[in-house]
Structure 1
């Protein structure tokens, strides 16, 4: 090659576009997450972290392969709806929705964006999906509880407090529209155990104290079941304080209640559900239709007992109950 040809070859190489021959950059996918509890809630943070970790194990690293836009909820339904609207405007390819109230807020904004819900009770009965086997629309997900769980709560309360004669069942009918089904199983168990069940619907945290007082009066042998409900979860500090002050044995649906000072809980492992939900988001991002993905039911349950709270209330937890506990808070 003479000098002239060498110069022309170098000029040709210089004219080639930067990165020629390299693979085009992969477009980053977009996922939305609507949590129904505030960012200050430790369990909600753990649930969100479990979801992200689940995605990472499937090859979706936030900021590298996927962008995760998330919004935190509050006890205010209007704020939750605004958060849902913000997420929908971002046009994610799939949205993870937390619990019944989060999903309800999201459904007000979209019926087309693929949605994976977590911890929703009775999605068929609420008209959210056609069936568990084939949801048939833009959503699928992971349920929270079987309604027979209500009988288990009553049974555990009676074991811990054998002299129990009356139990108040606390819930918000707006955020727990499935409450009647839980009440059916709780009342049936109560009749078999000679325990009267009193329904306590509340819609505002200011009503909790007076409603419990009216339901239980001065009954020294009263107790409480707080239903699986975003309202009771968001206002658990107030509920726990009132119940402990009255020395009422109480059982809750989630472990964060006894972790925050409540007596005991029996229910699903919510963090595990969020971790499992990542698999459905992965499948939708890879092209599957949510309407063809069967709704999954919980497989992991946990029983938590707070012995410190029991001692403060003058309760002695039977050995048989303690042996069944998955975790004991000393």
Structure 2
């Protein structure tokens, strides 16, 4: 079990708390599962989620129901999907697949408990008031991977020392895209490397981006930590191999 899957399982202990209160009622409690990803790409995480619930005594289709909503990489769908779960009066909502899911869940309800899994600082994003006292109806886990962009660039420069130009691929729909760009841009300047910033929020944009890499003679590529790019990692790897990046 990888680290992210392990934490998905562990986070279910937090999700179980509201279910205990709901269990006092005759109806079976319902958990909302909101993800920016696709069910195929997230099969292992969804299985870990169900396993975590079962370890706290809640088994899907027996004493708990789970309503899944998948944005499949289309972040603009998340607000409507979160609102659907609110209308279903779920007992608790799990917002997974990064910051877009968590922000959509927060905007949809101020009363239903929300547990998030994200990569950036939840305080800076406005999800919680502080780490020690989250306040409100949200709590969760952050991997803080958003702070690693500059480190990734440094490692890439060690792997490809002759690459004078390096590209950064960002999803403009990611709420932290601009801060990630600034961090990597600062690191590139310090390392004496030219940075080409590219944007993609759909699959159709990948081809033109990689064509630009060839045109600009870019020797290496840093891909932003983003749920959409995670779902497209096989395609990105194939394009990188085809274009010798």
Q: TM-score range by the shorter chain?
A: 0.7 to 0.9
Quick check: 1:32–1:95 contact (8 Å CA) kept in 2?
Answer: yes
Alignment of 1:1-330 (within 5 A): 27-41=27-41, 44-98=42-96, 99-174=98-173, 176-214=174-212, 217-219=215-217, 222-248=219-245
C-alpha displacement of 1:165: 1.4
CA distance in 2, matches of 1:90, 1:247: 49
TM-superposition CA deviations, 1:230-257 (whole Å, max 9, x none): 2322333442232221111xxxxxxxxx
TM-superposition CA deviations, 1:43-73 (whole Å, max 9, x none): x111111111112112222233322222222
CA distance in 1, matches of 2:25, 2:202: 51
TM-score scaled to structure 1, two decimals? 0.60
C-alpha displacement of 1:82: 3.4
TM-score scaled to structure 2, two decimals? 0.79
Q: Which has the larger radius of gyration?
A: 1
Q: CA RMSD in A?
A: 2.5
C-alpha displacement of 1:145: 2.2
C-alpha displacement of 1:206: 2.4
C-alpha displacement of 1:75: 2.5
Gaps of 5+ in 2: 1-23
CA distance in 1, matches of 2:46, 2:33: 8
Would you tell me which structure has more helix in proportion to its own residues? 2
**Counterparts in 2 of 1:133 and 1:215: CA distance versus 1, 3 Å:** farther
| Structure with higher RCO (Cα < 8 A, 6+ apart) | 1
Stretch moving more, 229-238 or 162-171: 229-238
CA distance in 2, matches of 1:25, 1:210: 55
Quick check: 1:171–1:231 contact (8 Å CA) kept in 2?
Answer: no
